[in-house]
Amino acid sequence: MRRLIAILVASLFTLVVSTGVAAAHAKLESMTPTDGSSMAAPPTKVILTFNEPVGSNGTQVQVKSPSGTNVANGDAEVVDNTVTQPVGAMIEAGKYTVEARVVSADGHPITISGAFTVTHAGHPATQPAGTPAAPEGNGNVVTIVAMCLVMLVVVALAIVIVRRRPAD
């Protein structure tokens, strides 16, 4: 019986600890082109990678030229934790600013910004070096683990209740 109670307490503790991680806001892990980088030829898209999946509703990405013109071309594409924003012609040399607003998995809006420099105007758009392939869906591991722990707690409680019934 003591062992069962110890398992129940350990399961509840693990559940509480793991839900704290699940409630955290998404954080930007990387941006392509890299924040602060400089390149001769302009990119064809800006890629934002977060540490957890983000929602597609409310996602907005602007890529502003040195003169302040938004060169983002069309809607941003959201796949799991990656936001891809196509960009149009970047005919100005200078610093381009990326401003984005996404909605974290927990429903909170996240605002990020970064910048990169294009040194030669008029070059045809190119694919940024080191652009990652689209990630394959791996689900939200924390949610799956939390659900398994909840089921374990329910089973443990059922065992305790059944064992406490008085014998006839």
What are all long-range contacts of 151-157, with beta carbons under 8 Å and residues at least 24 apart? 152/11, 153/8, 153/11, 153/12, 153/15, 156/4, 156/7, 156/8, 156/11, 157/8
> Of 81, 85, 76, 79, whose CA–CA distance to 50 is shortest?
81
Residue-level pLDDT at 24: 64
Q: Strand order of the sheet with strand 28-32?
A: 28-32, 45-50, 82-86, 77-79
> Do 98 and 114 touch, CB atoms closer than 8 A?
yes
Residue-level pLDDT at 135: 44
Q: What is the mean pLDDT of each run of 10 residues along the chain (168 residues)?
A: 76 66 75 94 93 90 95 93 93 94 88 93 52 46 71 78 70
Distance separating alpha carbons of residues 154 and 10, to the nearest angstrom: 13
Pair of tokens at residue 79: 């796949």
Domains located in the chain, CATH noted: 2-133+140-164 (2.60.40.1220)
> Do 37 and 117 touch, CB atoms closer than 8 A?
yes
Residue-level pLDDT at 139: 47
Residue-level pLDDT at 64: 96
Residue positions counted in the chain: 168
DSSP 107-135: S-EEEEEEEEEE-STTPPPBPPTTPPPPP
> Do 115 and 98 touch, CB atoms closer than 8 A?
yes
What are all long-range contacts of 1-6, with beta carbons under 8 Å and residues at least 24 apart? 1/163, 4/156, 4/159, 4/160, 4/163, 5/160
Residue-level pLDDT at 134: 41
> Of 43, 55, 33, whose CA–CA distance to 101 is shortest?
55
Residue-level pLDDT at 15: 67
